[in-house]
């Protein structure tokens, strides 16, 4: 069948106020670009004409300035699921203009199929290619695209000529059956394939195609600083010691690594530590540092959900696409982050915390209990099921006025039951097998900034009895003192 060609504006004109829309992609990788921008422009025009216009956006993860950024600036997002990292959208979420459902990224597609969350009416997807029969080759992010296309009543397709059709072969696409018919996902290595290279959509649902030629627009990461570099070295040294102690098999285990500058520093340090053998990754986001390790031969394979690499790195990869097609597989997030596979492969999971408490609870999402930063993303999918679950963070923030280690986290994302290891620039706290009091001492000694060590010991001393030595009246003393005085060092734990 031949598809109707649409301009972005014609495509945007099809969207109604209040509609549920699913975007392809994961992070900025593979997210549609022209149509979301046109929907944002339409929202501005509607608002100027005095008419309400907001839509509900379901994605893979965070998106880009053309999608979340433009839509949030136009105040065009009513509900948003499951993850974001856009400054404009964050502002709308925290001011109550946008209702945000922060959820585990492996859950979104299946929960939508189960009916736990509303289904999308329109899928807006980016592809490298579409055949008349509806066979699509995705671009750099797999996200939730199979499910969104399956459930949507109609599909708008951006065919992005920036990405070669020869990307066919980099994806491994499948949609698990749902209970009671669910079957094991037979993946036993990151490099195995269980799905198809392309996804078949119903061509009669395609209301039009929009032609684009635009990169994902991902910039290079900042180079590491002394603190992130030290955190990276501490993680690498710890894994080296685990290997020597025989607690990690000699052939090593696949790595999952979160996003951001600390994750980049950790991967860089793993690459440099030659006592760690060459390794594979089974992760969510494949970022520049992974490709650098691949070029050096340190990372021998990476399975993930998106190729979130800088435009410069992607251009380099496209010049040697056959090599990278033999080294990279992109899967939908319900497979890349799947609990069954994370546990079977025995992943070493390394993610970043905003705040950690003395007993090993981790906050990855909120500032001071109420301000949303990004969301839990895939960190919970991996942390709960990993072979070894590591959280990293600098010991302090805001020039030392905030300690990342506090008596009680102001928001819980990962509980003490899921967290094995905490790493700051000062060292590595090993929480495995320890009771709460021993965990607290381990964290204070190994990870806490010297300015806060004595204070946190005083906090523990307030409660000589009880399994977990919390003093509810003082649990948020450090947070409240920061809010009152601008410095957590003013917290008073004297009895």
Is residue 193 within 8 Å of residue 335, measured between CB atoms? no
Q: Residues near 101 by Cβ (< 8 Å), separated by ≥ 6? A: 79, 80, 81, 82, 117
Residue 388: CB minimum distance to ligand 0RQ, A: 16
Residues 278-317 that bind ligand 0RQ (CB under 6 A): 284-285
Under rule CB under 6 A, residue 379 binds ligand 0RQ: yes
Distances from the Cα of 171 to the Cα of 5, 87, 174, 240, angstroms: 26, 30, 10, 32
The region of 175-183, 270-278, 323-331, 394-402 touching ligand 0RQ under the rule CB under 6 A is 394-402
Q: Which is nearer to ligand 0RQ, 137 or 351 (CB)?
A: 351
Q: Are 478 and 406 in contact (CB under 8 A)?
A: yes
Distances (CA, A) of 98 to 87, 91, 101, 302, 371: 13, 9, 10, 35, 13
258 is an interface residue for ligand 0RQ by CB under 6 A: yes
Q: Is 238 in the site for ligand 0RQ (CB under 6 A)?
A: no
Q: Which is nearer to ligand 0RQ, 210 or 423 (CB)?
A: 423
Tell me which of 40, 71, 354, 448 binds ligand 0RQ, using CB under 6 A: 354
Judged by CB under 6 A, which of 69, 378, 407, 469 binds ligand 0RQ?
378
Say what the alpha-carbon torsion angle 249, 290, 304, 167 is, to the nearest 10 degrees: -130
388 lies in the site for ligand 0RQ, by CB under 6 A: no
91 binds ligand 0RQ (CB under 6 A): no
* Binding status of residue 373 toward ligand 0RQ by CB under 6 A: yes
Site membership for ligand 0RQ, residue 374 (CB under 6 A): yes
Q: Cα 27 vs. chain centroid, distance in angstroms?
A: 8
Measured at CB, which residue is nearest to ligand 0RQ? 377
Residue 94 sits in the site that holds ligand 0RQ (CB under 6 A): no
Known catalytic residue at 284: yes
Q: By CB under 6 A, how many residues form the interface with ligand 0RQ?
A: 27
- Are the C-beta atoms of 359 and 416 separated by less than 8 Å? yes
DSSP helix/strand/coil, 301: strand
Q: Which two tokens stand for residue 396?
A: 């302090």
3-state secondary structure of 233: helix
Among 284, 334, 425, 477, the active-site one is: 284
Strand ranges of the sheet holding 255-257, from the earlier edge strand across to the other edge: 328-330, 299-304, 279-282, 255-257, 348-352, 388-392, 421-423, 428-430
Shortest Å distance, C-beta 373 to ligand 0RQ: 5
How many angstroms separate the CA atoms of 424 and 408, rounded?
A: 18
Q: Cα separations (Å) of 329 from 57, 139, 164, 302, 423? A: 26, 12, 16, 7, 30
DSSP state of 288: H
Question: Please, which of residues 401-420 interact with ligand 0RQ by CB under 6 A?
Answer: 402, 404
**Counting beta carbons within 10 angstroms of the beta carbon of residue 1, is it exposed (0 to 12), middle (13 to 18) or buried (19 or more)?**
exposed
Q: Using CB under 6 A as the criterion, what x/- string covers residues 105-134 for binding ligand 0RQ?
A: x-----------------------------
**Considering the complex, what minimum distance in angstroms separates the CB of residue 196 from ligand 0RQ?**
24
Kindly state the smallest distance separating residue 378's Cβ from ligand 0RQ, in Å: 4
Residues known to be catalytic? 284
Q: Which residues bind ligand 0RQ (CB under 6 A)?
A: 27, 61, 83, 105, 258-262, 284-285, 351-352, 354-355, 364, 367, 373-374, 376-379, 397-398, 402, 404
């Amino acid at each position: 069948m031949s598809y109707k060609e649409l301009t972005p504006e014609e495509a945007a004109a099809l969207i109604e106020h209040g509609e549920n829309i699913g975007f392809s992609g994961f992070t900025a990788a593979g997210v549609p670009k022209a149509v979301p921008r046109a929907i944002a422009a339409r929202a501005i025009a509607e608002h100027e004409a005095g008419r309400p216009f907001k839509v509900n956006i379901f994605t893979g993860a965070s998106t880009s300035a053309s999608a979340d950024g433009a839509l949030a600036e136009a105040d065009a997002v009513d509900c948003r699921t499951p993850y974001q990292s856009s400054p404009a959208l964050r502002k709308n979420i925290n001011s109550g203009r946008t209702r945000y459902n922060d959820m585990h990224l492996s859950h979104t597609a299946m929960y939508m199929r189960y009916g736990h969350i509303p289904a999308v009416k329109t899928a807006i997807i980016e592809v490298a290619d579409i055949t008349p029969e509806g066979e699509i080759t995705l671009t750099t992010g797999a996200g939730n695209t199979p499910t969104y296309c399956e459930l949507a009543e109609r599909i708008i397709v951006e065919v992005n000529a920036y990405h070669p059709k020869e990307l066919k072969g980099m994806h491994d696409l499948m949609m698990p059956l749902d209970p009671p018919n669910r079957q094991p996902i037979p993946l036993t290595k990151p490099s195995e394939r269980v799905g198809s290279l392309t996804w078949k959509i119903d061509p009669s649902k395609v209301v039009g195609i929009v032609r684009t030629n635009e990169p994902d627009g991902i910039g290079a990461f900042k180079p590491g600083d002394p603190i992130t570099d030290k955190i990276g070295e501490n993680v690498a040294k710890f894994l080296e010691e685990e290997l020597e102690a025989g607690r990690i098999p000699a052939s090593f285990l696949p790595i999952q690594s979160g996003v951001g500058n600390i994750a980049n520093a950790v991967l860089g340090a793993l690459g440099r530590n030659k006592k760690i053998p060459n390794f594979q990754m089974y992760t969510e986001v494949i970022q520049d540092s992974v490709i650098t390790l691949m070029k050096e031969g340190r990372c021998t394979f990476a399975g993930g959900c998106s190729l979130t690499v800088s435009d410069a790195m992607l251009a380099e990869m496209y010049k040697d696409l056959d090599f990278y097609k033999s080294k990279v597989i992109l899967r939908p997030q319900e497979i890349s982050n799947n609990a069954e596979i994370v546990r079977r492969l025995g992943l070493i999971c390394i993610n970043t915390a905003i705040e950690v408490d003395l007993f090993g609870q981790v906050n990855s999402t909120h500032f001071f209990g109420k301000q949303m930063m990004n969301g839990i993303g895939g960190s919970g999918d991996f942390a709960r099921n990993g072979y070894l679950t590591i959280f990293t963070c600098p010991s302090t923030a805001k020039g030392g006025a905030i300690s990342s280690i506090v008596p009680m986290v102001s928001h819980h994302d990962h509980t003490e039951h899921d967290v094995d290891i905490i790493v700051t620039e000062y060292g590595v706290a090993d929480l495995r097998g320890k009771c709460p009091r021993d965990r607290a001492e381990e964290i204070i000694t190994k990870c806490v900034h010297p300015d806060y060590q004595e204070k946190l010991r005083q906090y523990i001393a307030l409660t000589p009895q009880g399994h977990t030595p919390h003093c509810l009246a003082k649990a948020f003393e450090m947070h409240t003192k920061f809010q009152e005085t601008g410095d957590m060092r003013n917290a008073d734990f004297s009895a």
